Structure 1
Amino acid sequence: MGGINKAQFSLIKSLLRLSDEALELADRHSVEEGKLRHVVPVAPEYHGRLFVRIIDFNLSSKQVKELCEGDMTSDDEVDPLEKLPPSAVKMAKITQTISATTPQDLARALIRQEGDPGIAKARLQALKRLLIEAEHYFEAE
């Protein structure tokens, strides 16, 4: 058995119960074994959906475990965040840390990311337009 013990072999063998779609996604995106293990007990028809979440949100092994221990059997209880684009969810989470960021730090980070102050300023203006339009959305409701 190549120097592995029976328990390790059983864990690896259990991964073969993952759906073909899940195995393909895990292989394509190099999902580590620790995350795969938590998906095995979930019904195979939910494997693909789980792996899309794992990959899109770059979930940790602990988060995957919590997700898999939740009830994945009811389509009526779909997480509303799942229906939104991942980039929108990430931006919404960033708003929770705004008080810890100074304007200067944000400007320096944008310049470093873009490599050009003009492009960084354009990105900031685009973000400003997006926020203004989001604010209009609240006023409309």
Structure 2
Amino acid sequence: MARQAALLLLTIHGYEIPAYAVGNDFYRQALQLDLRGKREYTDTILTAMGGIEKAQFSRIKSLLKLSDEAIELADRHNVEEFRLRYVVTVSAEYHAEILRQIIDLNLTAKQIKELCEGGDLQPDTEDPIEKLPPAALKMAKVTQSVTTLTPQDLARALMLQEADPAIARARLQALRKLIMEAERFLVSD
């Protein structure tokens, strides 16, 4: 359905739809498009998608953010949108692994949400790294490149991401609090 949504969006925005097979990157162009600029087509598109609501359309379209391997797994195993919506919130490098866990362990939407938000639902393994939430591993990786960043670059990136100085400042404050609490754990270990 995500590819169908993409084709509909691309069509109403004047993109030429090729008559040959295309890859996922072609469909991902639709991530930059929405129905706001083409309100006259909104009802027609939502009806063509099975009479869904705008919010459901957006959730379906967001599935285009899945990595190619994750899309293939989701297609092959008919994984429903409500089980995939949380997967797109994590880094693409983790999508396929999360999909494998969804399929192998038949995870519920609640379990998937907890896994993607950092809950410890991964199977017990000998490797403690595999038990860590993906977000924690990403943050640890970021600390390795902190010496190559300037404060101005970080501030500009936050502004690009958040588009609001107050929210960017709040993100930095939350990060500062997280770092201070993490330092306490390092001292006590």
Pair 1:79-2:131 in alignment: yes
In structure 1, what is the Cα distance between the partners aligned to 2:105 and 2:119? Answer: 19
Unaligned runs of 5+ in 2: 1-44, 121-126, 133-189
Please tell me the residue identity of whatever aligns with 1:37. R
In structure 2, what is the Cα distance between the partners aligned to 1:71 and 1:63? Answer: 8
Aligned to 2:83: 35
Higher-Rg structure is: 1
Alignment of 1:1-141 (within 5 A): 1=45, 2=47, 3-70=51-118, 77-79=129-131
Structure showing greater relative contact order (alpha-carbon pairs closer than 8 Å, 6 or more residues apart): 1
Q: What secondary structure sits across from 1:59 in the alignment? A: coil
* Aligned residues: CA RMSD: 2.3
In structure 2, what is the Cα distance between the partners aligned to 1:64 and 1:5? Answer: 23
Count of matched residue positions in the alignment of Structure 1 and Structure 2: 78
In structure 2, what is the Cα distance between the partners aligned to 1:78 and 1:71? Answer: 12
In structure 2, what is the Cα distance between the partners aligned to 1:4 and 1:43? Answer: 28
Misfit runs of 4+, over 6 Å: none
More helix by share: 1
Unaligned runs of 5+ in 1: 81-141
Aligned to 2:150: none
Work out the percentage of aligned pairs sharing the same amino acid. 62
